[in-house]
Amino acid sequence: MARKYEKGLQEIGDGIFAYLQPDGSWGWNNAGLVAADGDAVLVDTLFDVKLTRDMLDEMRRATNTADNIKTVVNTHANGDHCWGNQLVAGADIIASKAAAEEMGQVTPQVLANMIKAAPSLGLMGAYVTRIFGAFDFEGIDLTPPNVTFEGSMTRSVGGKTVELIEVGPAHTKGDILVHLPEDRTIFTGDILFIGGHPIVWEGPVQNWIDACDRILEMDVETIVPGHGPLTDKSGVRQVKDYLIYLREEARVRFDTGMSVEEAARDISLGTFSTLSESERVIVNVSTLYREFSQQEESNNVPALFAAMAELAKERGLYGLADAAQA
């Protein structure tokens, strides 16, 4: 796409805006605004109150409808897509039923406490500080959705059709797509990471592949990913290809008895070696191993963060090479 990947609001269609946050890595998500005839729908809020307030201020300067946000859609439960909800608490806040149930599982205070405790957490503390230290998790009032759905829901804003399509569990338990059919535009939430490794917290991976196929079958031209620059269907194909490749490679290593950590280090990233956040392969392989063994329990998130910190240090990421071990 010709559009530049720059911080802030970009008009990508008639009354349709993407709010981008380079570099798109941990916590730096994208959001969107659909504004028409004095009405507006906001697609996702941001990781903290200040970032969300700055975004809303920019939307107000760009359009006279940003003060009339009657509907907010949270594409999934991760905090970087919903922890700014308190600033739009008067609106209908919509999410899938599964996403709404997941939102309370990790609170802002959990991350705030991790950042405070980072000096005593050794390498993992240094890692958490590097990826989340730019955000302010204090003063966030967790504001959950007040409207939920399963399967699909349709809203209208100024005559524009807004289709909400549940495709989770995939990245998380309740991922949804926000499709504007007349405008050939879609906001994908974290079904798409462009320029960085996707992270499969929930799975099954086949659901995520199916979600990519669903986008590829749509008549869409402009695609706003959850993280990274605006894309087109080539970006969707890359994410799909990544998931298929990683599943195949992880299966081979699972069958030979390798551990998650051994497999994650052994898998060659090949054509995906230029993607950032490569330590996320630990989480992805862990989720795939759960699928292969048909385990129903959730990932051990603290253990996975510790494992990602180790791999990130080995790979020279985030300046962790000199960080002290716990």
Q: For position 170, which CATH number holds? A: 3.60.15.10
Which residues constitute the domain of residue 216? 8-247
Q: Is residue 254 part of a domain?
A: no
pLDDT in tens, 185-208: 999 999 999 999 999 999 999 999
Q: Tell me the percentage of the chain whose pLDDT exceeds 90.
A: 90
Q: Is residue 318 part of a domain?
A: no
Distances (CA, A) of 326 to 118, 278, 311: 10, 22, 14
Q: Are strands 69-73 and 92-96 parallel, antiparallel or unpaired?
A: parallel
25 pLDDT higher than 60: yes
Q: Is residue 285 part of a domain?
A: no
Q: Is residue 67 part of a domain?
A: yes
Integer Cα distance of 46 and 311 in angstroms = 27
Confidence of residue 323 (pLDDT cuts 50, 70, 90): low
Q: Is residue 294 part of a domain?
A: no
User: Whole-model pTM above 0.85?
Assistant: yes
82 pLDDT higher than 90: yes
Name the one residue in this structure whose structure tokens are 């994908």: 188
Contact between 1 and 230 (Cβ < 8 Å): yes
Contact between 17 and 33 (Cβ < 8 Å): yes
55 pLDDT higher than 60: yes
Q: Is residue 297 part of a domain?
A: no
Q: Is residue 192 part of a domain?
A: yes
Name the one residue in this structure whose structure tokens are 């129903």: 296
Q: Tell me the percentage of the chain whose pLDDT exceeds 70.
A: 97
pLDDT on residue 1 = 45
pLDDT on residue 2 = 58
Integer Cα distance of 279 and 135 in angstroms = 21
Q: Is residue 166 part of a domain?
A: yes
Into how many domains does the chain fold?
Answer: 1
